[in-house]
Amino acid sequence: MVNRFWKFWTSLKLTVVLLGLCTLLVFLGTLAQVHEGLWEAQGRWFRSFWVWRRAGDVWWVPWCFPGGYTLGFGLLFNLIAAHLKRFRLSWNKVGINLTHLGIILLLVGQLLTDLLSRESFLSFAEGETRQYSESHREVELVVATPAGEASAAGGEGRERVFSFDGSRLFQGAPSLRHPELPVELRILQYGENAEVFSRASVLEAWGRLTAALVALEAKYGSVEAVVAEAGEVASNEGRARVWKEALQAAGGGFSVGAEGNWVDAARQVLADPKREGVFREDLKRRFRSQMLAAFGRASQMEDMPSDQARAMAYVAQEFQAGRLEGAPDAQKLPVLASQGVADKVLLVPKPAGRGMDDRNVPYAVVEVREQGGQKSLGTWLVSPWLEVGQEWNTGGRSYRVALRMRRYAQPFALTLLKTTHEKYQGTNIPKNFQSRVLLENPQTKERREVDIFMNNPLRYGGLTFYQSQMGRTEAKGGKGTSVLQVVRNPGWITPYLGCAVVSLGMVWQFLFHLVGFLARRSGARSPSGGGSGTTAGAGERELPSGEGVPRT
Amino acid sequence: MKQRIPFLVAVVLALCVFRGSSVPRDPDPRGQSGSRFPASAFGRLPAVGGGRIQPLDSIARNSLLQLREKQRVNAEPWKSWWQRPRMLSASEWLMHMFFAQKQADALPVLRIDHPDVKGLLELPMHEDPEKKTDGKHFAWSQIQPKFDVLREETRRAWEVQESARSPYERAVLKLWEGVAVYRSLQNAVQPPNAERWEQELRDWVAQVPAGREAAKAQQAGQPFDQAVLERLLVELQRAEEMLRDEKMRRPNNPPLVVAPYRKSEAELAWGKTGEALFDVARGAPLPVSVQAYAAMGTAFRAGDAVAFSSVLTGYQQHLTGVHAGEIRKAASEQRFNHLELFYRALVLYVLSAICVLVYMLAPERLEAWRASGVAITGVALVVHSAGLVYRMLLEGRPPVTNLYSSAVFIGWGACVLGLLLERVWRNGIGAMVSAVPGFLTLIIAHHLSLSGDTMEMMRAVLDTNFWLATHVVVVTLGYSATFVAGALAMLYVLRGFFSASLTGETAAALSKMVYGILCFATLFSFVGTVLGGIWADQSWGRFWGWDAKENGALMIVLWNATFLHARWGGLFKERGLMALALGGNIVTAWSWFGVNMLGIGLHSYGFMSAAFHWLMGFVGLQLALILLLLLPRRMWRSRAA
């Protein structure tokens, strides 16, 4: 039994099967990225032991497939076992041994990276200083209070901060407590993603849309108004197209594309009492949907503030779906919480984006209760987008609640001094992104300026800062903003080591064989007079390759 | 004597292939020949396109490649070649586009293949010499009447999701892009159809000071001359139209032909004519470039080649003073364009493949054919290498910077490996696997070049010669080697199944070649992949991010490792190993082209639908060959293998 087990783990057959499966897994995992997004597919296919088919998968997903961890560990055990069994010190095996040692290092290094590395982001505008970076995906719930006498622990600036790990939010923790906090928190609702509007702008957009629809109703309400309209539309290309299509649908003896006086045709239809009603309704319907579509595209208009444009798109979508109608009415917009800014914003849950660049806006509804007591102080709606105006008082102290992207503090501060964003002449191809940053570390008394740009990160204090994105603040004459990717990876050196060792091994092996091969060839050819030039390979020995690894 | 035949053949061919490879000398402007305008000197003028200095010749050629997939204009495409259709060089065509838009609009330079697009625009469907059309190439004057229809269709097609577009919709969008290129070129040096531009420009510049006074007075609320102000504004309106195409509702993107003229700024930048006119209205002097092009336009429209030459010469001398570097760069690139080294190498590869095929019919008797084939491949390799080196010098970059150059380089690598094999085995197989991949990859490169400039600037992330020279070159050599092994396996199956020429000896030789090449491939693809990981760690902070292209490279490494272990373990016999090598073709093609089609990750180049069909065809072929390998031995014509 033990013998068979040992034989299985040391066999070269297993290696070949595992390598073949690895190739297939990488192929499938890459294809899966198209549908599942880079992040999701990575977790499902490469950072897992098994991939199971789920409902809603694309047709090619197999019922079950070994995941990256299974194959990776399989190869690791196979390698180690095989070497334990066959290790022999000899010149012609140095290359193979080195290569495999390097592969082991690479596999272990990748595992370490998976387990230990952490990516976060640091974004700031020119002139701003940051002592922390933020996670892209994880959130934390914090309660902050102005630091009084007890400012020793957990201080963050002039505030005392109690933070609760984001993972507890959706695990349905009954209540979140802290010994020094006079209140406890209960999560009533949590969502991974939502869109946040100001209620005022939604109501305003609603008003605008209603007014426009009323005007439309009036315009196509009576035959006379429509006849008058017919004369004017000819000059407007877009409106004329709608008219032509409606006319075609009404069978007005007119076909799209044919030139001719279509306005007359329209007048004829309008003069016919049997047809004009249907024609007008059809026109109204067409212009209504066009108007809704135009509202939906408001964000593409240049001089529209983005908040208003989003509100217009939202209202148009709700009208289209029939969820909103009639005159603006604040009562019809849901309010999720009783306190704080909940009555100033409208939060609409939406499915979380899975793509690499999707920025989700998580939210939660939190109830604050007195510690141990039954008295509720109210409910708060929290989200990384809503950080101000969420205060209350308990025992004469003011407290603030917020849901924010998880922060990682660093013992030094970075200040963005200047951003540079160059493009090639007359194109939009980026030539250079560069952030000049002031680095201040009170512990080492360092105070120096550094440039961070593409392919030139800042490595400091176990962290590496990479230039990631660049932009400008929205205000006119805005300041440059910069986003740095912050990576902590204690295992970063293993792939370098592994690569060096494997490369060394491979080069050794390759040269060893090449030299041997060429020597033998010239030896084989010289007796026959330097090669007749006709047939080759005659009288040649088998390549010594098979000797590299003993056969099982 | 017999020994020398191949070398003589190679030398003669090389000489033939190099005919007409220098930049033609311009005719004497005072002469009597048909076209007396100095097209070559004009094509040598530097300008900035796509962010880099290039000769007008390159701008014209790349635009033509996009418009009609050729680097020249056939003005009478309905004529067969023996009827001597009128041909225009790229530079001659550009002169028409710049200076005589009406004449240019009558030249059939927009290629449309899709019948529905032709139907949409009411263009003739079929070749008809009597109506002077070939049913494929059309002039702007034929398309313009239906411009509104085209715009509507473009708008609709644009809103369809990229992967869901029908071939018709893609054809519409391609034509639209072509039209944008076309109209941008017509706005490069003067407003289109301005017949008296030089005069108009002179009048306007003379009035600018008065116009500025009037504008200042108007702003200060003082009395001003309405007519003078309006004159200034009307002309600015024209300048604005040169910069933005109101009909197409998008900015024009003409080459930057105006040499840097503002002395005050630290970094001198080339500019568009429209921008320069705005600067003139703000009080800057009229740039020499704008003036020179205006004067060339007058001479060109008047058919006055002598005046044209003298303006051109004067302008060149002016540029030489300040921009000697740019002039040299442009001239050098023009020479490169005319050398067409890759095209010539391609022809030589075909010749070589033919020679070796003949040799393979009767290897015992036709040794001279093999030697000729090898010699021709040698010449082809020299030409190919010269092209690569010239390109590197022009760009100041390592050989592989984009998909186009990767194709050129893969072919080069395959050719080197094939010749090495040939040197060792001397049985024609090595020559075959250098000529065929060399030819195919250069064909692929030609098709990739149709999408525009192949020497485009590198975006910031990729702008590092160190990693381009190490990671990219090594990993591309890995592709090359895997393809060569795949080509050997294809040869094995084709010769074995369809002919009796695959003797046991040849089969064994092929098997050894595949093994040797795949050892090399494993080394290079592994080292290349790892260097890529290190680059990623240096620029993004992660050694491995499971990006689609990274995964593609990893698949090649894994597959090659599978092959090697299967061989070492004796798990597969000769035929099984050949099947694995054919699988290597699939894996490599996927990683080279397939992943770019997914539209995900950092390396994506967008969906390339035409290439997708070819890729599927290639994969299908490999699978078919693998099936042949699985057939029982008695069904093969070469029983011994």
Output the CA–CA distances (angstroms, integers) from residue A131 to A439, A456, A464, in the order listed. 10, 21, 14
DSSP A83: H
- CB contacts, 8 Å: B555 with chain A: 23, 26-27
Mean pLDDT of chain A: 80
Residue B556 pLDDT grade (very low, low, confident, very high; cuts 50, 70, 90): very high
A260: CB partners within 8 A, 6+ apart: A254
- CB contacts, 8 Å: B505 with chain A: 535, 537-538
CA B458 to chain A, closest CA, distance in angstroms equals 8
Residue B448 pLDDT grade (very low, low, confident, very high; cuts 50, 70, 90): confident
Question: What is the distance between the alpha carbons of residues B99 and B195, in angstroms, rounded to a whole number?
Answer: 9
Rounded mean pLDDT, A58-82: 92
Chain-chain contact of B526 with A492 (C-beta, under 8 angstroms): no
Chain A nearest-CA residue for B275 = A426
**Can you state the angle between helices A12-36 and B548-568, rounded to 10 degrees?**
160
Question: What is the distance between the alpha carbons of residues B88 and B35, in angstroms, rounded to a whole number?
Answer: 10
Give me the pLDDT at residue B260, please. 86
Please give the sequence-ordered ranges of beta strands (E in DSSP) within B213-273, or none if there are none. Answer: 244-245, 250-251
CA B275 to chain A, closest CA, distance in angstroms equals 11
Q: Tell me what percent of the residues of chain B surpass a pLDDT of 90.
A: 49
Q: Distance of alpha carbon A23 from its chain centroid, rounded? A: 26
Chain-chain contact of B570 with A464 (C-beta, under 8 angstroms): no
Chain-chain contact of B540 with A38 (C-beta, under 8 angstroms): no
Question: What is the distance between the alpha carbons of residues B316 and A181, in angstroms, rounded to a whole number?
Answer: 80
Amino acid at position A250, single letter: A
Burial B245-270 (b: 16+ CB within 10 A, else e): beebeeebbbbbbbbbbeeeeeeeeb
Q: Are A439 and A450 in contact (CB under 8 A)?
A: yes
Residue A70 pLDDT grade (very low, low, confident, very high; cuts 50, 70, 90): very high
Return the closest-CA partner of residue B288 out of B264, B257, B325, B330: B257
Question: Which of A90-104, B28-42, B127-141, B617-631 is predicted with the least confidence, judged by mean pLDDT?
Answer: B28-42
- CB contacts, 8 Å: A423 with chain B: 51
| Backbone phi, psi, residue B48, to 5° | -105, 125
Give me the pLDDT at residue A234, please. 66
Question: Which of A131-145, B258-272, B440-454 is predicted with the least confidence, judged by mean pLDDT?
Answer: B258-272
Tens of pLDDT, residues A442-497: 999 999 999 998 888 898 988 999 988 888 877 667 788 999 999 988 888 888 89
Give me the pLDDT at residue A235, please. 67
The half-sphere exposure of A504 on its side-chain side, counting CA atoms within 13 A, is 11
Tens of pLDDT, residues B482-531: 999 999 999 999 989 988 888 888 899 999 999 999 999 998 999 899 88
Residue B30 predicted with pLDDT over 80: no
Q: Tell me what percent of the residues of chain B surpass a pLDDT of 70.
A: 95
Give me the pLDDT at residue A252, please. 59
Give the DSSP letter string of B471-492. IIHHHHHHHHHHHHHHHHHHHH
* pTM, to two decimals: 0.82
CA B276 to chain A, closest CA, distance in angstroms equals 13
Give me the pLDDT at residue A405, please. 87
Residue B290 pLDDT grade (very low, low, confident, very high; cuts 50, 70, 90): very high
List the structure tokens of A330.
């604040």
Give me the pLDDT at residue B386, please. 94
Tens of pLDDT, residues A331-349: 888 888 888 887 888 888 8
Chain-chain contact of A489 with B541 (C-beta, under 8 angstroms): yes
Residue A527 predicted with pLDDT over 60: no
Q: With helix as H, strand as E and coil as C, how does B91-140 read?
A: HHHHHHHHHCHHHHHCCEEEECCCHHHHHHCCCCCCCEHHHCECCCEEEH
Residue B34 pLDDT grade (very low, low, confident, very high; cuts 50, 70, 90): low
Place of tokens 């590198």: B458
Residue B470 has a CB neighbour count (10 Å cut-off) of: 18
Tens of pLDDT, residues A257-268: 455 566 777 777
Give me the pLDDT at residue B26, please. 82
CA B130 to chain A, closest CA, distance in angstroms equals 29
Give me the pLDDT at residue B601, please. 47
Give me the pLDDT at residue A545, please. 38
Q: With helix as H, strand as E and coil as C, how does A282-304 read?
A: HHHHHHHHHHHHHHHCHHHCCCC
Residue B111 predicted with pLDDT over 70: yes
Chain A nearest-CA residue for B557 = A23
Give me the pLDDT at residue A552, please. 32
Give me the pLDDT at residue A533, please. 35
The residues that bridge with B251 in the sheet, in sequence order, are B244
Give me the pLDDT at residue B51, please. 85
Tens of pLDDT, residues A292-306: 887 877 766 656 677
Residue B616 predicted with pLDDT over 50: yes
Rounded mean pLDDT, A11-23: 93
A86: CB partners within 8 A, 6+ apart: A10, A549, A550
Residue B29 predicted with pLDDT over 90: no
Question: What is the distance between the alpha carbons of residues A488 and A113, in angstroms, rounded to a whole number?
Answer: 10
Cβ pairs bridging A and B (under 8 Å): 197
Chain A nearest-CA residue for B548 = A30
CA A507 to chain B, closest CA, distance in angstroms equals 7
Q: Are B536 and B545 in contact (CB under 8 A)?
A: yes
Give me the pLDDT at residue A530, please. 36
Give me the pLDDT at residue A306, please. 75
- CB contacts, 8 Å: A510 with chain B: 519-520, 523
| Backbone phi, psi, residue A368, to 5° | -105, 125
The residues that bridge with A66 in the sheet, in sequence order, are A50
The residues that bridge with B265 in the sheet, in sequence order, are none
Question: Which of A353-367, A423-437, B35-49 is predicted with the least confidence, judged by mean pLDDT?
Answer: A353-367
Which residue has better confidence, A289 or A529? A289
Task: Look at chain A and count its residues.
Answer: 552
- CB contacts, 8 Å: A72 with chain B: none
Out of B424, B460, B595, closest to residue A431 by CB: B460
Chain-chain contact of A426 with B467 (C-beta, under 8 angstroms): no
Q: Are A31 and A60 in contact (CB under 8 A)?
A: yes
- Residue B396, Ramachandran bin (φ over 0: left; ψ between -120 and 50: alpha; else beta): left
Question: What is the distance between the alpha carbons of residues B169 and B116, in angstroms, rounded to a whole number?
Answer: 10
Please give the sequence-ordered ranges of beta strands (E in DSSP) within A322-390, or none if there are none. Answer: 345-349, 363-370, 376-382
B73: CB partners within 8 A, 6+ apart: B64, B87, B88, B89, B90, B92, B93, B107, B109
Mean pLDDT of chain B: 88
Angle at A356 between CA A354 and CA A361, to 5 degrees: 60
Residue A68 has a CB neighbour count (10 Å cut-off) of: 24
CA A144 to chain B, closest CA, distance in angstroms equals 33
The residues that bridge with A486 in the sheet, in sequence order, are A120, A465
| Backbone phi, psi, residue B188, to 5° | -75, -45
Q: With helix as H, strand as E and coil as C, how does B23-44 read?
A: CCCCCCCCCCCCCCCCHHHHHC
Give me the pLDDT at residue A525, please. 55
Chain A nearest-CA residue for B509 = A537
Residue B297 pLDDT grade (very low, low, confident, very high; cuts 50, 70, 90): very high
Give me the pLDDT at residue B440, please. 93
Question: What is the distance between the alpha carbons of residues A452 and A468, in angstroms, rounded to a whole number?
Answer: 10
Question: Which of A412-421, B472-481, B490-499, B535-544 is predicted with the least confidence, judged by mean pLDDT?
Answer: B535-544
| Backbone phi, psi, residue A245, to 5° | -65, -40
Burial of B432 (0-12, 13-18, 19+ CB in 10 A): buried
Chain B nearest-CA residue for A537 = B509
Question: What is the distance between the alpha carbons of residues B293 and B190, in angstroms, rounded to a whole number?
Answer: 8
Residue B346 predicted with pLDDT over 80: yes
Residue A82 predicted with pLDDT over 60: yes
The half-sphere exposure of B491 on its side-chain side, counting CA atoms within 13 A, is 33
Q: Tell me what percent of the residues of chain A surpass a pLDDT of 70.
A: 85
Q: Are A435 and A127 in contact (CB under 8 A)?
A: no
Residue B539 predicted with pLDDT over 70: yes
- Using only C-alpha atoms, chain B has a radius of gyration, in whole angstroms, of 29
Question: The complex's ipTM?
Answer: 0.87
- CB contacts, 8 Å: A502 with chain B: 526, 530
The half-sphere exposure of B87 on its side-chain side, counting CA atoms within 13 A, is 10
Rounded mean pLDDT, A152-158: 49
CA B60 to chain A, closest CA, distance in angstroms equals 17
Chain-chain contact of A119 with B561 (C-beta, under 8 angstroms): no
Give me the pLDDT at residue A354, please. 66
Q: Are A421 and A480 in contact (CB under 8 A)?
A: yes
Q: Are A387 and A407 in contact (CB under 8 A)?
A: no
Residue B21 predicted with pLDDT over 60: yes
Place of tokens 């005022």: A200
Out of A23, A42, A499, closest to residue B555 by CB: A23
Residue B600 predicted with pLDDT over 60: no
Give me the pLDDT at residue A248, please. 75
Question: What is the distance between the alpha carbons of residues B636 and B641, in angstroms, rounded to a whole number?
Answer: 9
Rounded mean pLDDT, B602-625: 74
Give me the pLDDT at residue A155, please. 44
Residue B375 predicted with pLDDT over 60: yes
- CB contacts, 8 Å: B536 with chain A: none
Place of tokens 């969008």: B173
Question: What is the distance between the alpha carbons of residues A249 and A227, in angstroms, rounded to a whole number?
Answer: 18
Residue A378 predicted with pLDDT over 90: no
Residue A468 has a CB neighbour count (10 Å cut-off) of: 19
Chain-chain contact of B538 with A543 (C-beta, under 8 angstroms): no
Chain-chain contact of B537 with A495 (C-beta, under 8 angstroms): yes
Out of A20, A30, A485, closest to residue B551 by CB: A30
Residue A414 pLDDT grade (very low, low, confident, very high; cuts 50, 70, 90): very high
Return the closest-CA partner of residue B330 out of B455, B440, B196, B450: B455
Rounded mean pLDDT, B219-229: 83
3-state secondary structure of A242: helix
List the structure tokens of B505.
């000896």
Residue A132 has a CB neighbour count (10 Å cut-off) of: 15
Question: What is the distance between the alpha carbons of residues A328 and A465, in angstroms, rounded to a whole number?
Answer: 49
Give the DSSP letter string of B260-292. ---SSSSS---B-HHHHHHHHHTTPPPPHHHHH
Chain-chain contact of A426 with B272 (C-beta, under 8 angstroms): yes
